[in-house]
A and B are shown apart, each in its own frame.
Chain A
Amino acid sequence: MIYFDNSATTKALPEVLDTYRKVSEDFFANPSSLHALGGKADEMLQSARHQIADLIAAKPSEIFFTSGGTEGDNWIIKGTAMAKRQFGKHLITTSIEHPAVINSMKQLEKLGFDVTYLPVDSRGFIHVEDLKAAIRKDTILVSVMGVNNEIGSKQPIAEIGDLLEAYPNIHFHVDAVQAIGKGLMKALRHPRVDFITFSGHKFHAPRGTGFIYAKEGRLIDPLLTGGGQEHDWRSGTENTPAIAAMAKALRLLLSDEDKKVAQQQAVRERIYQHVSQFDNVTMFSQLSDDFAPHVLCFAIEGVRGETTVHAFETHDIYISTTSACSSKKGTESSTLAAMHVRQSIATSAIRVSLDEHNTVAEADAFNAAFDAIYADFQKLNPVNRKETVRAI
């Protein structure tokens, strides 16, 4: 089995699950309980928080546990809107964000907030000048993803941070769900970044756990109110086993990060060099430095993405159409649409997404399978090259 769908989710590591099981058994008490068992569970929770804070060079008091990326995005966006609504009702994001961001924004629009969706160029990047032009007196939030989940373009976080130095009152949120462990820590921790969303299951932790970084002194309203956990910022009994497992997974992920990034780059390059030679293939991800090392998005013209996914499945290779969240709906990719990719090509797009365990041998197996699949498609569905002009 070759698993190339790591941007959808990753497989939890055995040693991470080991921690999950042991913590479930030995630290099962509610961390808020006053008795010694509760104290022990709380110690585990705080140790995990410490470890995560150290790993991303933040303070433990700046780390808040959530149920994952969707909650983190919802919380930071809606929490900012609630906390800062008396200062303004304008929010800025991009047209290629994850639905957790886009749909939070849409919900706020219904409540009377005004949202600017920044356009992207044909390569999938926003431009800082567009952002600058969009900023208004009543802007309260800028929310930009670190790495696009469909094509892997790295958005200019550090440059946006530099620009926002001149606007100290605007909250700056980065959705780093796809960016963690991909050699981007420096940009993410730009001093002007106020909030960051992380999701555990994208780095080999169990599902249903994540965390946000919230810079000291930056306030948002809670989304989940209740028993006052997480300093009353995020109520709900803490998921201690998953949190401990996530702390461990993050430690493992970030050790030898450079080496792991290089490894993913090598695998990606191997596939890119091979598939990009074919006439009817359009590459959306590039090998240049402004793309993340683990995402490779391309289209075989004339074949629907879904068909290609199933074709690879028969070779025991697992990839996806652009993003798992929209893939079942059969709609075209929102990122590719924002890049003005023609619909007939956009619906053909597929995404290969890697993790640090994938190998060049797997890339070669993928390439061999690609050759067979491509040949079959050309027999069934020959594309007249004269009529299709490359979108980019």
Chain B
Amino acid sequence: MQYSEIMVRYGELSTKGKNRQSFIGRLNGNVAKALHEFPGLTIRPKRDRLHIELNGEDADAVMARLSQVFGIQSFSPSLAVEKDMTKVHEQVLALMNETVPEGSSYKVNTRRSDHEFELDTNAMNLDVGDFLSDARPDLVVKMKDPDFILRVEVRREAIFLSTTTIKGAGGLPVGTAGKAMLMLSGGIDSPVAGYYALKRGVEIEMVHFFSPPYTSDNALAKAKELTAKLAPYVGGIKFIQVPFTEVQEEVKAKVPEGYLMTVQRRMMLRLTEAIAQQRDGLAIFNGESVGQVASQTLESMAAINDVTTMPIIRPVATMDKNEIIAVAEDIDTYDLSIMPFEDCCTIFAPPAPKTRPKTDRARYYETKIDVDGLMARALEGIKITEIKASDQFMNQATDLIAELL
């Protein structure tokens, strides 16, 4: 069946009052970015719906991309028919035959924006229902909770038919909630936190600490690849790599073992805050989950959080590991996350970190290191790259392999 358009229903933004126009504008931009590889499309944002005219592009491929765009409640592939009831009947039958199996229940649901059309809403429902009871006697009409709803939209340009409604990604259009930094390690949790940030409309930039030669190029490539996994939700994500070797060596040399981890994390958070301030970020997201590891007890969080007043948002704070893994699998970051490369959180991990560090102790030990100098040098060494959905970092030999297989 060659559909003529995808009709997109907005998510929460229909309730957002005055901001509506900017929300729709942002969603329109995000949809256009997500669908950039289909040049034939025409996207028409309207007050309550967004219409994507396919002009011959493949509906399934377009919908697969669309399902990753936040701010969409649902969408329906639709068939445009000339405003002639004989043609409408013909297409209704073709559509029902293709999409509605024998013996299903259904109802007809008409919306009419063209009030000059000969049939009004009720008359249209009746006419189409009447036609179908003859053409598809196997179907049962059911008003409450039918298997299928045949939607008929009478618009000025044509009549649109659809039987399928696909759930969208929900959430808010990315960018409508402002910008924040995500501390991306390479583990399972931080990409999931990033996904939730994007879902609430936050534009995130990845902050990744790397410590060559203690961490390998693989670890860096893995973090970039994880970023590429989240990129389809936005189009592109900035990846900020922060050199952390000097900080870690200095902390290791000067701070007692029990506080190594706490002080390292305080330095990471300070650096992330500084980067956020430079780049107009309003908050910091991370993948901490209460009690999961020594650095994520409430005592640890308090001792680490002490260095900043910027909001720190922890989307997975109260989730169980299994729940986090389930989401990671859904967004296809899990297999990457479990690849065994040392990251900067594990290389200098003491055998017995304090699970209940004290804030004043952490502050005291920090006086032994040159916080300002270390930070200045780390910030100087920052490298920023823009990562797109199609970018590949882990699998450098892909083309050669495809050729050999």
Contacts and interface: CB of A to CB of B under 8 A. Distances in A.
A47 B405 contact: yes
B397 A43 contact: yes
Contacts of A39: 218, 394
Interface stretch (A73-81, A243-251, A329-337): A243-251
Contact of A40 (B216, B217, B340, B396): B396
Contact of B404 (A22, A34, A36): A22
B400 A251 contact: no
Interface string A21-63: 0110011000000101001100110011001000000000000
Contacts of A251: 405
A51 B397 CA distance: 16
B307 to A, nearest CB: 34
Interface in B388-405: 394-398, 400-402, 404-405
A48 B405 contact: yes
Given A36-B217, A36-B218, A43-B395, A248 B401 contact: no
A26 B216 CA distance: 22
B218 to A, nearest CB: 7
A294 B395 CA distance: 40
Contacts of A36: 217-218
Most chain A beta-carbon contacts within 10 A, residue among B216, B340, B341, B397: B397
A4 B271 CA distance: 72
B335 to A, nearest CB: 10
A351 B398 CA distance: 43
A285 interface: no
A22 B405 CA distance: 11
A43 B217 contact: no
B156 to A, nearest CB: 46
Contacts of B218: 34, 36, 39
Interface in A138-197: none
Nearest to B396: A40
Contacts of B397: 27, 40, 43-44
B405 A51 contact: yes
Contact of B405 (A26, A34, A40, A244): A244
A19 interface: yes
Q: Is the interface of A mostly helix, strand, loop or mixed?
A: helix
Interface in B363-405: 394-398, 400-402, 404-405
Given A36-B217, A36-B218, A43 B404 contact: no
A248 B398 CA distance: 15
A23 B398 contact: no
Task: Select the residue from B341, B395, B402, B405 with max chain A CB neighbours within 10 A.
Answer: B405
Contacts of B394: 39, 43
Interface in A212-256: 244, 247-248, 251
A47 B217 contact: no
B395 A19 contact: no
Given A36-B217, A36-B218, A19 B405 contact: yes
B336 to A, nearest CB: 12
A248 B395 contact: no
B398 A43 contact: yes
Contact of A244 (B216, B398, B404): B404
Contacts of B401: 43-44, 47
Q: Which of A39, A40, A244 counts the most chain B CB atoms within 10 A? A: A39
Contacts of A51: 405
Contacts of B340: 34
A248 to B, nearest CB: 5
A34 B215 CA distance: 12
A23 B402 CA distance: 12
A26 B401 CA distance: 10
B395 A247 contact: no
Nearest to B217: A36
Contacts of B402: 47
Contact of A248 (B341, B396, B405): B405
| Centre residue among A47, A48, A244, A251 by max chain B CB count within 10 A | A47
A27 to B, nearest CB: 8
A151 B55 CA distance: 55
B217 A26 contact: no
Contacts of B395: 43
Contact of A23 (B216, B341, B404): B404
Contacts of A23: 404
B404 A248 contact: yes
A40 B221 CA distance: 13
Contacts of B216: 34
Contacts of B341: 34
Nearest to B401: A47
- Name, among B218, B396, B400, the residue most crowded by chain A CB atoms within 10 Å (CB to CB): B400
Interface string A257-286: 000000000000000000000000000000
A248 B402 CA distance: 10
A202 to B, nearest CB: 19
A125 B404 CA distance: 40
22 contacts: A19-B405, A22-B404, A26-B400, A27-B397, A34-B216, A34-B341, A36-B217, A36-B218, A43-B397, A43-B398, A43-B401, A44-B401, A44-B404, A47-B398, A47-B402, A47-B405, A51-B405, A244-B404, A244-B405, A247-B405, A248-B405, A251-B405
Given A27-B397, A43-B401, 14 more contacts: A22-B404, A26-B400, A36-B218, A39-B394, A43-B394, A43-B395, A44-B397, A47-B398, A47-B401, A244-B404, A244-B405, A247-B405, A248-B404, A248-B405
Going nearest first, the 5 A-B pairs with the smallest beta carbon separation are A47-B401, A19-B404, A40-B397, A247-B405, A43-B395
